[in-house]
C-alpha cells in the first residue's frame, strides 16, 4: 500500500519561520506516535530569503563575514539543530523538508539520506546532468570533469527523533552563487559549489524540476502524493502545527 505524503508548497518563507513550523509539526507527529497514533507524512517545499545556517557539528569560523557584512548583504545567520556544518539558503534554491515517519518506510538514517540523494541524482539526470556522490561527503556533486573538480549542487542536513525526520535538502537551481563566498560551504575548503543553471548554461524551469523530483521521490519511497495549492498548504500546515494531540 502506498504511503500518502502531503506535499505543502509554502512559497518564500523566512528561515526562522519555516524552522519554527517544522519544529511544531515534528513535535505534533512525535506526540501522535507516543499516543499510539499514525502521523501523516509531510513534505514542506520552500524558498528562503538569504540566510546562512550552521548545523550542530559545524564551526562558527566557517562563516567568513561579520554581522555588518551580512546586514549589507541582506542576509541572516541562524544556528540550527540539524546535522552538518554551514550552508547557504536563498532565492533560486529548491528547499525540501520531509517530515517522514521512517517506521513506516525504513528506520535507517543512512538509507534515508542515500535515498534522498538518489532522488536528486535522478532529477539531475532528467536534464542530462551527471550527479554523483563523493565518498565520505554528503550531498550530490557534479564532476570531476573537463570543467574542474567535483562541485556540490545539492546539500543535505537532517535530524530525527523517534524516527520522525526534519530538515532536508537544498538544491541549487539558479541561486546567486556569490553568496557561497561568505562561507566554507559544509565545512569543505577544497571544493566549490555549482547550480543546475550554471552547469546547463541556460535557465532552469523550477516548477518542472520540482515535478520531476516529486515523481522520483514518490517512486523511491513508495508514496502517494497528496497535493495542495500554496494557500491550502499554508492553512493545512498551520492547523496541524496548532492541533492538540489527545493522550
Active site residues: 186
Grid coordinates standing for 194?
A: 555549482
How far apart (Å, rounded) are the C-alpha atoms in residues 135 and 81? 24
Closest CA to 193 of 202, 181, 203, 205: 181
Return the SS3 of 197. Answer: helix
How far apart (Å, rounded) are the C-alpha atoms in residues 9 and 203? 21
Asked whether the beta carbons of 170 and 184 are under 8 A apart, the reply is no
For helices 15-34 and 230-242, angle between their N-to-C axes, nearest 10 degrees: 50
Number of CB atoms found within 10 A of residue 71's CB? 11
Amino acid at each position: 500500500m502506498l504511503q500518502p505524503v502531503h506535499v505543502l508548497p509554502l512559497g518564500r518563507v523566512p528561515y526562522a519561520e519555516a524552522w519554527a513550523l517544522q519544529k511544531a509539526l515534528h513535535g505534533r507527529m512525535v506526540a501522535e506516535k507516543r499516543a499510539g497514533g499514525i502521523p501523516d507524512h509531510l513534505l514542506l517545499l520552500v524558498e528562503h530569503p538569504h540566510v546562512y545556517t550552521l548545523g550542530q557539528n559545524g564551526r562558527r569560523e566557517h562563516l567568513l563575514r561579520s554581522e555588518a557584512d551580512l546586514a549589507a548583504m541582506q542576509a541572516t545567520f541562524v544556528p540550527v539543530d540539524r546535522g552538518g556544518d554551514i550552508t547557504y539558503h536563498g532565492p533560486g534554491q529548491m528547499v525540501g523538508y520531509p517530515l517522514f515517519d521512517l517506521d513506516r518506510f525504513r528506520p535507517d538514517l543512512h538509507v534515508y539520506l542515500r535515498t534522498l540523494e538518489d532522488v536528486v541524482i535522478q532529477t539531475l539526470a532528467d536534464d542530462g546532468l551527471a550527479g554523483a556522490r563523493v565518498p565520505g561527503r554528503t550531498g550530490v556533486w557534479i564532476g570531476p570533469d573537463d570543467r574542474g573538480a567535483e562541485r556540490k549542487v545539492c546539500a543535505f542536513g537532517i535530524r530525527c527523533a523517534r524516527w520522525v525526520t526534519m530538515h532536508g535538502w537544498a538544491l541549487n537551481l539558479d541561486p546567486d552563487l556569490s553568496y557561497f563566498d561568505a562561507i566554507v560551504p559544509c565545512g569543505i575548503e577544497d571544493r566549490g559549489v555549482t547550480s543546475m543553471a550554471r552547469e546547463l548554461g541556460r535557465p532552469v524551469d523550477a516548477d518542472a524540476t520540482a515535478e520531476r523530483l516529486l515523481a522520483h521521490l514518490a517512486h523511491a519511497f513508495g508514496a502517494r502524493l497528496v497535493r495542495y495549492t500554496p494557500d491550502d498548504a499554508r492553512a493545512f500546515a498551520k492547523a496541524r502545527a496548532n492541533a492538540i494531540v489527545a493522550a
